[in-house]
Structure 1
Amino acid sequence: MLYDDSAAAARHRKDPLDGVGPADGHAADPTGLAALLTRALTDPDFTTEGQDRHPDLTRLSDEQLGSLFVTAYAAPMPATPHATAIRHTIENAAAERQPSYTPDACRRLFEALVEKCGTRGWADLTLGLSALEHCAGPLPDVSEQARELVELCLGKETVRQPYALLAIARIAGQVTLRAAVRRLSRDVGSIVADEMAVIAGLPRAEQTLLSGTDRNDKFTSAPLDAWRRSADNPAYVAFARRALEAAADRTDAIAAGEIPYQADKAFTDREIISLGNALRVALLRDEPWLPELFDRLLPGVALAPTAPAKTLPSQALLYEVVRAAQEFPTPELATAIRTVRRTVRHAGVPKQLDKMLKKVDAALAERTEVALRLPRLGFETVTDSGSTLSGSTVGGVLRRPAGDHQAVVTVAETATLTWEKDGRPLRSLPAAVRREHPALVTELRDLVKRVNAHLATLTRALEGGFTVDATHPYRWWRAELVEHPLARTLVRRLIWEVEATPGEWRAVLPETDGPDASDALDDLDALDVADDARVRLWHPLRSDPDSVRAWRDLLTERHIRQPFKQAFREVYRLTPAEEQTHLYSNRFAAHLVHYRRMFALFRARGWKSDLLGPWDHGDDAHAERILAAGEWRVRFFHTWADQAGDDELASTDQVRFHRRVDGTWRETPLTDVPPLLFSEAMRDVDLFVGVTSIAADPDWTDGGPPRTYWERASFAELTESAEARRDALQRILPRLKIADRCTLAGRFLVVRGDLRTYKIHMGSGNILMEPDDSYLCIVPAAGPATRSTNQLFLPFEDDRLSLILSKAFLLAADSKITDPSILTQIERGA
């Protein structure tokens, strides 16, 4: 533990089962705890002073939690902040863990729903349906309460939660259900009327499942599990296709003049929500008929039928389609959106689509089962023994004539556009082409951006496959990845494992020969590997240390830079301390970090988190990421710590894991987390802390506890990421012109200069000077690497490694330093 704040340290040391409830013995008795909390919620004379504001409810049974939740929901608003905190704890526990309900609790909850709907104008109907779904006994008769609920809801100008309302109406009887269908189908368009009729005809249990996708507006969405349930419902799946095709038929009719054109009036607001639901279900199922539909629907909603008009038939539906793509993207939909973006005539829409498409690309990278399905875009596969990839493969080439010139788009590590004349490459875009073929220039520049977006998505998707332990059929892998004109330059620089015979995995690097193979792909062909043999990415966690070293040596010797860190990838194994803490890890707890930088990293790595700040309830939060195709969740807790000038600081806390069980998250002991998933999750957390810790800030000058933390953490033991950096340095140093001045000593790179000897910490990059270990502050300049390091081969991208090498080159020639701020520090103790 590095940051010695007493409150934070207490949180890190606290076992989640210690200190439950009050100190009078109720904590040891779940029934007693439930009774105590019931009094706190219902008895206005009961004092909560001395009681735990956030009692741990894990030892309550599911049935006790259900009864307690109903009590909290039905009770008047608490009079004290302490009672409010208890209520929130109960609500959060019920949201995290699926309670069960006695018949009496179900009845009380329906009565509370009626009361709240009558007095406040709205109540969450899905609570009542969930209670009936998880009733731990005979279902109570709540038909009268259901009828009252439906009448109250239908009396409102806007009816919320229509799916749930139909399920409630079915409980009340057929007369009430028919009334609900008539009201919900009024003035909303034919597509919604079809949807309401379909849902009304389903059994109540299926209506309940669908109610999880209820959306009151097009800007909200439902949990992944709710969409999965909808995608398993044959009647709703049939409606989804019918609705989307009806929408495309309508836009076709508008384009043909059969329906009068009105800007942004092609669909009602409720139809847009229904179509968004239908599209999400179809995208989740990855329906094969969708690409053809996109080619009709997207131009239909984005282009007015009259050429000069800059309006859209339905800007709202266009944006709804993109929001659906942000949740369940496919390569075909992303391509269709980009195609429409180039043709839409409204001035503001392309800019908005560009912003939204960034989220589509990020989401597609996380959807590994479809993200690897790359278009070929007219590229042809070629090899080039003279390429810059160490005699490797150029992925693909596309040539387009432009008068006397020819455009050449080449895919290597990235896509580039060059121009030729008579077979000779030109340095820049010819003036004649710019003047005579502007549309082609724009098209090809857009193509380069599109290909690079595909490559970035593929890279993220391949790396994301680690957490699901993704495998691919051998023949498909060879044809659609290794030999694909866009994918091959990435795929061939990664190490793969092929199950050549059942249970025997053979590691190969398609780019070149491996440590134990003369030619990777030729050897596999000689083995006559079955077409359906499994192929997966190699991970050092599954390999022995000698093999890991061999692959690292090979990549360094051949100057093969991998698309992401694989051979040098950090491995995080469970520690004895984590086995003791059982449910949580403190490995990265009690660090002080630059909060805004860490928050930006959360987003970049696909984690979600609420923003912390000096406001009510803004001092405590967690970042979370869903892994393994929605089966696992990891949470990284952190707390608002301080404001240092314009900088905001946070203190890091525990890491916990949850597994999806019967549709709800269950906290899971660390020993039960799959080792590969645990390693990948902890790798992200190490990145967050290592990059944003104030220990890596060379000119930190603030005092107090932050300064104490900085002094300890700046030169602390190396983490796994810093150990990987050390391993890379060990291979790089002998190749450097300053090799005779550098040695590795423990956690430091020691550099002998002319004036002094320096120790660069391989974690923080901070520097100590011998003989007295005085601190040397060198603030790196913003911008690209120095001339000494920007031509160096590094086996993986690591800004900290580049910084350490840059400092090493500078200090090895310290007699040539002219910066007075650095010279003064060096000469002071020389």
Structure 2
Amino acid sequence: MGLVARLMRALTDPDFTPEDEDRHPDLSQVSDEELGSLLATAYRVDGSATHATRLVRYALEKAAADRQPRYTPDACRRMFEALAERCEKHGWADLTRGLDALERCTGPLPDVSEPACVLVGLWLEKEPVRQPYALLAVAGLAGDETLRAAVEHLARDVGPIVAEEMAVIAGLTPAERALLSEINRDHGFVDAPLAHVWRRAADSPAYVAFARRALEAAADRTDAIRTGEIPYRADKAFTDREITSLGQALRVALLRDEPWLPELLERLLPGVALAPTAAKTLPSQALLYEVVRAAQDFPTPELVTAIRTVRRTVRHAGVPKQLDKMIKKVDAALAERTDVALRLPRLGFDTASISGSVAGGVLRRTVGDYQAVVLVAETATLTWEKDGRPLRSVPAPVRRDHAALVKELRDLVKRVNAQLVTLVRALEGGFTVDAVHPYGWWRTELAGHPLARTLVRRLIWEVEVAPDEWRSVLPETDEHLPDAPHDASVRLWHPLRSEPHAVRAWRDLLTERCIRQPFKQAFREIYLLTPAEEQTRVYSNRFAAHLVHYLKMFALFRARGWGSDRLGPWDCGDDGRAERTLAAGEWRVRFFHSWADWAGDDELASTDQVRFDRRVGSAWREAPLADVPPLVFSEAMRDVDLFVGVSSIAADPDWTDGGPRRTYWERASFAELTASAEVRREALEGILPRLKIADRCSLDGRFLIVRGDLGTYKIHLGSANILMAPDDAYLCIVPARRAGDGKVFLPFEDERLSLILSKAFLLAADTKITDESILMQIKRGA
């Protein structure tokens, strides 16, 4: 008996005992068409089947997730019959399975009207009705009468926006209805739809037209609530189903980057977030969150700015905190969407000279005898002048007679600062897609833009001055930009693409000129594949086996745009993974970790493997590490290094637990330097000679050596923990949150580097230490 026959019998004959190899079959021997036939039978298997039968079904479904099965007309019909049977027996079934079978049918489409009619009837008995798009597609297969009944039922008591949506979808062709059903899969049956699914939906002219009408109707409704035409009721502006429909309409409009959308969102977002009264409630908190979730899928700079603006005006105490969490994911997603991320409005700003040299943006408004000046350097600031002389605060006559203008200007400053934050995140995110821009556009819209230029000038860029000949330039220090055609390519410089001597030269230049970049670029860590990772092939153990403060690491996941379920001491809460998509959604990195234990009131986790997946069609496929693009690999591992380095208990100077935890702490606190610590060491090489304690400091391997009057100290460049000479006694100093002496220039923001310098200044003047706990340790060590 062949494999397919044995599997079919295992699914249908309760008395059949599968062989061991059938319980975990090698389905690479099964064709796509045979797999489809088996799946149509497997869908009838439920919890009452034998354990062996269920194992076969799970194996088939896993194979289907990794492949695209094909279905004969007979298999299509049997799939619909299985769906009807499951729905009748268990109250639900995933309708999209039947639609997928028809889409991949290998012959003439079979007549499935009878089981389709049964399915629709059973589903319409349920409240709420799930997968409405798929239901309409199935209803169309059952005939016009069934389709009309489904539309009438789905449009009942759900609001006019959904009623129109159902009518629009009913008027589509069967193929268009089937395509739209794919975006309606986020109702607890399978994962949320992937980007390519939304692109297919965005190709339907009728649905695109509906999307605009729906969003305009939503904005009109919030306008009517604000004017009192519609009575205000907290969180009742839209029905639940309208919120889902508006979210889907918004995603299609965002994906298409519709030009009418920014102006409409300027109306809609304040309308859903701010009550027309002094109440602290919202017209629709649910729609506000749905808009932000749509922005996580397909962000635009205008929407990100609008969300940040609303976040500052909403009165509900809990909403800003929730929005802050969600915005971090939006920023990360926008950074990946480089086709729109770098778009900035000019907002009436002109270029100006700041401090006599650095060109920035300025906007001036005359108010009587005074002038308001909004200046954009690293951030935007609002100041006031009279007769060219700066004033310390808003003039009293302006505050009294022009309060609205003052508010408008302050809001403008907040808006510009929000856009600058978005721009920085987007520029940095461009590394993983190796973003390239036309040189002419870059000169006018980035390097020459009044809002962007002060950020762009402090970054290193590469211009392709001839085919495959790239010239590096730092606009802040170069009077003249390279001479290249308007269509030449320009991209951000990355140390991974440069020789070590060139990287060192840029780092020295930034330190000498005291130029702090908007994000760590010249001093950026790089991560190359190691021999050990070549051996493990599909996973890296580079950051495995660390003990970390779990809540701190979980917060870092959110801050860097990684998704992760919360772990804890509950069922299925032990093991988890954090993941992030990179390279415009083409690659995914997964960082595995486990909940470990309590440490007092703190929670500990242990770290494990890092793996990478490549997008193949509509699914993810695990990829060998050697196949991952070097920039994608380096940037992903940089994040993981950050997670471990910041949250490891080795970085906790006050750790006192014993046992295995103490053993780990002692090992990791003074271990070999990671890539981030190596960069810290190189930065110190340039910083130390400039310090007033330079004659008391030196670098030795993984330590900064500090000579005090009472003793000599070794500060580890990774953990910032301290050992005392001559016998390496541990010295515990709890951070005082003060960077160096407050005047030390750091070429990049690094809390650990600031902490190391703070400890160095303290210990270089150890005779001035007044903290008795520190003095006792020093004397005991001496």
Same fold (TM over 0.5): yes
Aligned to 1:810: 762
Q: Name the stretch that deviates more: 201-210 or 482-491.
A: 201-210
Could you tell me which of 51, 66, 85 is aligned with 1:97? 66
Q: Look up the equivalent residue of 1:100 and give its one-letter code.
A: P
Could you tell me which of 414, 417, 424 is aligned with 1:452? 417
Distance in 2 of aligned mates of 1:623 and 1:665: 15
- Relative distance call for 1:579 and 1:134 in structure 2 (3 A) is farther
Aligned to 2:693: 738
- Relative distance call for 1:615 and 1:272 in structure 2 (3 A) is closer
Distance in 2 of aligned mates of 1:805 and 1:303: 46
Contact 2:281 2:316 in 1 (8 A): no
Distance in 2 of aligned mates of 1:318 and 1:644: 38
- Relative distance call for 1:84 and 1:348 in structure 2 (3 A) is farther
Instruction: Specify the SS of the correspondent of 2:477.
Output: coil
Residue 633 of structure 1 pairs with residue 588 of structure 2:
yes
Distance in 2 of aligned mates of 1:584 and 1:799: 30
Could you tell me which of 173, 180, 186 is aligned with 2:150? 180
Aligned to 2:362: 397
Distance in 2 of aligned mates of 1:793 and 1:268: 55
What pairs with 1:252-271 in structure 2 (closer than 5 Å)?
263=233, 268-271=239-242
Q: Name the stretch that deviates more: 131-140 or 483-492.
A: 131-140
Aligned to 2:404: 439
Distance in 1 of aligned mates of 2:690 and 2:11: 70
Aligned to 2:375: 410
Distance in 2 of aligned mates of 1:645 and 1:301: 43
Aligned to 2:262: 291
Aligned to 1:213: 183
Instruction: Specify the SS of the correspondent of 1:551.
Output: helix
Distance in 2 of aligned mates of 1:803 and 1:210: 54
Distance in 2 of aligned mates of 1:723 and 1:678: 18
Residue 597 of structure 1 pairs with residue 552 of structure 2:
yes
Residue 503 of structure 1 pairs with residue 468 of structure 2:
yes
Distance in 1 of aligned mates of 2:698 and 2:758: 15
Distance in 2 of aligned mates of 1:697 and 1:339: 37
Listed one character per residue, the Cα deviations across residues 479-512 of structure 1 (whole Å, up to 9, x for unaligned) are 1111212111111000011112232211111111
Instruction: Specify the SS of the correspondent of 1:633.
Output: strand
Q: Look up the equivalent residue of 2:358 and give its one-letter code.
A: S
Aligned to 1:667: 622
**Residue 228 of structure 1: CA displacement?**
2.2
Instruction: Specify the SS of the correspondent of 1:468.
Output: coil
Aligned to 1:24: none
Q: Name the stretch that deviates more: 547-556 or 132-141.
A: 132-141
Instruction: Specify the SS of the correspondent of 1:562.
Output: coil
Contact 1:481 1:488 in 2 (8 A): yes
Could you tell me which of 513, 527, 538 is aligned with 1:558? 513
- Relative distance call for 1:316 and 1:801 in structure 2 (3 A) is closer
Distance in 2 of aligned mates of 1:698 and 1:307: 51
Aligned to 1:6: none
Listed one character per residue, the Cα deviations across residues 302-329 of structure 1 (whole Å, up to 9, x for unaligned) are 788x999999876665554444334333
Could you tell me which of 542, 545, 550 is aligned with 2:497? 542
- Relative distance call for 1:96 and 1:332 in structure 2 (3 A) is same
Aligned to 1:516: none
Q: Name the stretch that deviates more: 68-77 or 794-803.
A: 68-77
Q: Look up the equivalent residue of 1:166 and give its one-letter code.
A: L
- Relative distance call for 1:605 and 1:401 in structure 2 (3 A) is same
- Relative distance call for 1:577 and 1:446 in structure 2 (3 A) is same
- Relative distance call for 1:62 and 1:283 in structure 2 (3 A) is farther
Contact 1:496 1:535 in 2 (8 A): yes
Distance in 2 of aligned mates of 1:85 and 1:590: 35
Aligned to 1:10: none
Residue 484 of structure 1 pairs with residue 449 of structure 2:
yes
Q: Look up the equivalent residue of 1:496 and give its one-letter code.
A: W
**Residue 680 of structure 1: CA displacement?**
0.6
**Residue 558 of structure 1: CA displacement?**
0.6
Listed one character per residue, the Cα deviations across residues 359-412 of structure 1 (whole Å, up to 9, x for unaligned) are 5556544433222111222222101244xxxx433x212233444433322211
Q: Look up the equivalent residue of 1:785 and give its one-letter code.
A: A
* Structure 2: stretches of 5+ with no match in the other structure: none
Distance in 2 of aligned mates of 1:576 and 1:420: 63
Distance in 2 of aligned mates of 1:767 and 1:162: 63
Contact 2:464 2:488 in 1 (8 A): yes
Could you tell me which of 166, 174, 199 is aligned with 1:228? 199
Distance in 1 of aligned mates of 2:280 and 2:405: 23
Aligned to 1:726: 681
**Residue 769 of structure 1: CA displacement?**
1.9
Distance in 2 of aligned mates of 1:757 and 1:502: 55
- Relative distance call for 1:407 and 1:249 in structure 2 (3 A) is closer
Distance in 2 of aligned mates of 1:38 and 1:765: 64
Instruction: Specify the SS of the correspondent of 1:634.
Output: strand
Listed one character per residue, the Cα deviations across residues 21-59 of structure 1 (whole Å, up to 9, x for unaligned) are xxxxxxxx9959x979996999699899x9999x79896
**Residue 143 of structure 1: CA displacement?**
3.5
Listed one character per residue, the Cα deviations across residues 82-112 of structure 1 (whole Å, up to 9, x for unaligned) are 9899699759846853452554665554334
**Residue 166 of structure 1: CA displacement?**
1.7
Residue 239 of structure 1 pairs with residue 210 of structure 2:
yes
Distance in 2 of aligned mates of 1:256 and 1:751: 68
Aligned to 1:791: 743
Aligned to 1:475: 440
Count residues with an aligned counterpart. 776
- Relative distance call for 1:95 and 1:470 in structure 2 (3 A) is farther
- Relative distance call for 1:83 and 1:652 in structure 2 (3 A) is farther
Q: Look up the equivalent residue of 1:792 and give its one-letter code.
A: V
Q: Look up the equivalent residue of 2:431 and give its one-letter code.
A: F
Distance in 2 of aligned mates of 1:413 and 1:56: 60
**Residue 337 of structure 1: CA displacement?**
5.3
**Residue 542 of structure 1: CA displacement?**
1.0
Aligned to 2:83: 113
TM-score, with normalisation over the residues of structure 2?
A: 0.89
Contact 2:548 2:647 in 1 (8 A): yes
Distance in 1 of aligned mates of 2:646 and 2:605: 13
Residue 273 of structure 1 pairs with residue 237 of structure 2:
no
Listed one character per residue, the Cα deviations across residues 221-261 of structure 1 (whole Å, up to 9, x for unaligned) are 6443332221233332233234334555666788899x765
Aligned to 2:301: 331
Distance in 1 of aligned mates of 2:550 and 2:472: 41
Contact 2:300 2:340 in 1 (8 A): yes
Larger RCO, structures 1/2 (Cα 8 Å, 6+ apart):
1
What pairs with 1:522-541 in structure 2 (closer than 5 Å)?
524=482, 527=483, 529-541=484-496
**Residue 628 of structure 1: CA displacement?**
1.2
- Root-mean-square deviation (Å): 3.8
Instruction: Specify the SS of the correspondent of 2:523.
Output: coil
Aligned to 1:130: 100
Q: Look up the equivalent residue of 2:778 and give its one-letter code.
A: I
- Relative distance call for 1:187 and 1:641 in structure 2 (3 A) is closer
- Relative distance call for 1:46 and 1:210 in structure 2 (3 A) is same
Instruction: Specify the SS of the correspondent of 1:455.
Output: helix
**Residue 536 of structure 1: CA displacement?**
0.8
Q: Look up the equivalent residue of 1:693 and give its one-letter code.
A: S
Contact 1:66 1:94 in 2 (8 A): no
Aligned to 2:166: 196
**Residue 685 of structure 1: CA displacement?**
0.7
Residue 568 of structure 1 pairs with residue 538 of structure 2:
no
Listed one character per residue, the Cα deviations across residues 273-301 of structure 1 (whole Å, up to 9, x for unaligned) are 32321121011110112234335555666
Distance in 2 of aligned mates of 1:313 and 1:711: 55
Distance in 2 of aligned mates of 1:30 and 1:706: 54
Contact 1:69 1:90 in 2 (8 A): no
Percent identity of equivalent pairs: 72
* Structure 1: stretches of 5+ with no match in the other structure: 1-28, 514-518
Distance in 2 of aligned mates of 1:728 and 1:116: 64
- Relative distance call for 1:88 and 1:496 in structure 2 (3 A) is farther
- Relative distance call for 1:139 and 1:704 in structure 2 (3 A) is farther
Distance in 2 of aligned mates of 1:636 and 1:307: 47
Distance in 2 of aligned mates of 1:342 and 1:480: 28
TM-score, with normalisation over the residues of structure 1?
A: 0.84
Could you tell me which of 383, 386, 393 is aligned with 1:421? 386
